[in-house]
C-alpha cells in the first residue's frame, strides 16, 4: 500500500512539473529587459527611456539602419504586415519600435522620413536614435551585431558604407520581457501574430 | 518591303535578346538608399553581362548582392556586374542581387515611375520604367507559407 502511494505521489509530481514547464515552453526566451533603462530620441526628437516607453504593451521591435536598401526595409515591411493583420481587439495592445544601430547617420529626422515614406503610423510606431553608448547597450540586450563594411566614396568625396548586421525581429511582453526572436527579413507573419495572440491571452 | 524592314528591325534590335520583366523599385526617402529589382531574360545563344545602371534621382548606383553572413547576420556587397547565361533568366530580388540606388536626391514615393538605363555588354543600352512600391505583393504572400 505504501509503495502504491509513493508511485501515485511520484506520478502527481511528474504531472505537475510537466504542466508547469508546459506553460512556459511556448516561448524560447524570458529575458527581463527592464533592469536598466536607456535614453533615446524618438522621431520627433523627444527624449524617451527604453524600455519604459513600451510598458504595458506587447512590442514588436527591430534594430535597423535606414541606408540599408534591402534587408532592413524587408524587416520593417514584415512588421508593417504584422500590424496590418492584427485583429481589432489587439490593435491597441501592440506597439512597434525601430531602433537604429547606425545613429551617426540615422538622426530622428532621418528616421521620421524613413517611417513616413512607408506610411507607418506614429500612433503605434516609435523610431529611436541614441548615442553610441545607449545604442551599444541595447544591442547587447537584444544580441544584435552590426559591423560597418564595404565602404566607398561618391563623386563629392562623401563616405558611404554598408553594415553587416543581425537580421531580427523581437517580441516583448507587456512586462518588458523578451519572449522570442525571429529572422527579420523572412519572418513568418502568421507565427508572430500567433505569438502576440498567445501573450495577450496568458 | 515594309514587312521585310519590320522584320529586319525586330531581329536587329538587341533588346529582343535581353528582355526585362517586372521592374520595380522600393520606396525610399531623400538622402537614403533603396533597391531596384527586375528579371533579366536572355533569349540569345550567348551570355550577356549587366555592368552598369543609371538612375538620375540617385547620387550613386551600384549592383549589389545580399548574402547570409552566418550567425543570423546578413551582409551586402558590390558585385560590379551580373552575367546572364545564354537562354536563361536571372532575377534581381529582395534578399538577393539588386541594384542599390544610393544618396537619393528626392523622395521615391509609392506610385513614382522612374526611368532607368541598363547597360549590357552585348545588348547595349536598355531603357526601362520601374514603379515604386514598398514590396511586391508576391513577396508578401510568400510569408504565409
What is the rounded distance in angstroms from the CA atom of residue B83 to the CA atom of residue B64?
Answer: 13
In a domain, B36, yes or no: yes
In CATH, the number for domain A28-201 is 3.40.30.10
Record: contact B60-A154, CB cut-off 8 A: yes
Domain contains B60: yes
Task: Judge: B31–A168 Cβ closer than 8 Å, yes or no.
Answer: no
CATH of the domain at B30: 2.60.40.1890
Minimal Cβ distance to A149: which of B75, B110, B140: B75
Quickly state the pLDDT bin for B136 (edges 50, 70, 90). Answer: low
Q: Report residue A187's pLDDT band, with 50, 70 and 90 as the boundaries.
A: very high
For the segment B72-89, the average pLDDT, to the nearest whole number, is: 96
At residue A160, φ and ψ (nearest 5 deg) are -120, 145
Flag if A162 and B95 touch (Cβ within 8 Å).
no
E strand spans, chain B: 18-26, 34-42, 48-54, 58-70, 73-78, 82-84, 88-92, 97-104, 113-120, 124-133
Q: What is the mean pLDDT of residues A14-38?
A: 75
Is B108 in the A-facing interface, judged by CB distances under 8 Å? yes
| Interval A83-102: pLDDT, tens | 999 999 999 999 999 999 99
More confidently predicted of A106 and A159? A106
CB A40 within 8 A of CB A99: yes
Tally of domains within chain B? 1
Residue B16: per-residue pLDDT:
80
Question: CB count, 10 Å around CB of A155?
Answer: 8
Per the prediction, chain A carries an average pLDDT of: 91
Nearest to A201 by CA among A173, A178, A170, A177: A173
Burial of B138 (0-12, 13-18, 19+ CB in 10 A): exposed
Cα A156 to Cα B52, B60, B64, B77: the distances in Å are 20, 11, 21, 21
Helices (H) and strands (E) in chain A, counts: 6, 10
Say whether residue B77 is in contact with chain A using an 8 A CB cutoff. Answer: yes
Which of A67, A165, A167 is opposite residue B32, by nearest beta carbon?
Answer: A67
- d(Cα B67, Cα B75) in Å, to the nearest integer? 5
The reply to whether residue A154 touches residue B103, judged by beta carbons under 8 angstroms, is yes
The confidence band for A13, taking pLDDT boundaries of 50, 70 and 90, is: low
Question: Nearest CA to A40 among A54, A50, A25?
Answer: A50
What's the whole-number mean pLDDT along residues A136-153?
91
The predicted model gives A16-28 an average pLDDT of: 61
Inside any domain, residue B9: no
State residue A14's pLDDT score: 52
**What per-residue confidence (pLDDT) applies to A183?**
96
Contact B65, B97 (CB under 8 A): yes
**What residue numbers bound the domain in which B110 lies?**
20-134
> Which grid coordinates belong to B24?
520595380
pLDDT band at A158 (very low <50, low <70, confident <90, very high): confident
Instruction: Say if B140 falls within a structural domain.
Output: no
Amino acid at each position: 500500500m505504501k509503495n502504491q502511494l509513493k508511485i501515485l505521489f511520484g506520478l502527481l509530481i511528474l504531472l505537475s512539473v510537466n504542466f508547469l514547464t508546459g506553460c512556459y515552453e511556448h516561448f524560447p526566451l524570458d529575458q527581463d529587459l527592464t533592469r536598466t533603462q536607456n535614453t533615446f530620441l524618438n522621431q520627433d526628437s523627444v527624449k524617451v527611456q527604453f524600455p519604459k516607453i513600451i510598458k504595458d504593451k506587447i512590442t514588436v521591435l527591430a534594430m535597423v539602419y535606414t541606408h540599408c536598401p534591402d534587408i532592413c526595409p524587408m524587416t520593417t515591411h514584415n512588421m508593417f504586415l504584422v500590424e496590418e493583420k492584427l485583429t481589432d481587439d489587439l490593435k491597441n495592445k501592440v506597439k512597434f519600435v525601430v531602433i537604429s544601430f547606425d545613429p551617426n547617420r540615422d538622426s530622428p529626422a532621418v528616421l521620421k522620413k524613413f517611417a513616413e515614406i512607408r506610411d507607418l503610423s506614429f500612433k503605434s510606431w516609435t523610431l529611436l536614435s541614441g548615442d553610441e553608448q545607449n545604442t551599444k547597450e541595447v544591442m547587447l540586450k537584444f544580441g544584435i551585431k552590426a559591423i560597418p563594411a564595404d565602404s566607398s566614396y561618391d563623386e563629392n568625396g562623401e563616405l558611404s558604407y554598408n553594415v553587416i548586421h543581425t537580421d531580427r525581429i523581437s517580441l516583448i511582453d507587456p512586462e518588458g520581457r523578451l519572449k522570442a526572436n525571429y529572422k527579420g527579413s523572412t519572418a513568418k507573419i502568421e507565427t508572430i501574430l500567433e505569438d502576440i495572440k498567445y501573450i495577450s491571452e496568458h | 518591303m515594309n514587312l521585310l524592314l519590320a522584320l529586319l528591325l525586330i531581329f536587329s534590335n538587341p533588346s529582343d535578346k535581353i528582355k526585362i520583366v517586372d521592374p520595380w523599385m522600393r520606396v525610399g526617402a531623400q538622402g537614403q538608399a533603396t533597391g531596384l529589382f527586375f528579371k533579366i531574360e536572355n533569349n540569345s545563344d550567348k551570355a550577356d553581362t549587366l555592368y552598369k545602371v543609371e538612375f538620375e534621382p540617385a547620387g550613386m548606383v551600384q549592383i549589389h548582392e545580399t548574402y547570409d553572413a552566418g550567425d543570423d547576420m546578413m551582409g551586402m556587397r558590390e558585385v560590379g556586374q551580373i552575367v546572364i547565361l545564354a537562354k536563361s533568366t536571372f532575377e534581381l530580388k529582395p534578399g538577393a542581387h539588386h541594384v542599390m540606388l544610393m544618396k537619393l536626391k528626392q523622395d521615391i514615393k509609392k506610385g513614382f515611375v522612374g526611368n532607368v538605363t541598363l547597360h549590357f555588354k552585348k545588348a547595349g543600352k536598355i531603357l526601362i520604367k520601374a514603379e515604386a512600391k514598398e514590396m511586391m505583393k508576391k513577396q508578401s504572400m510568400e510569408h504565409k507559407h
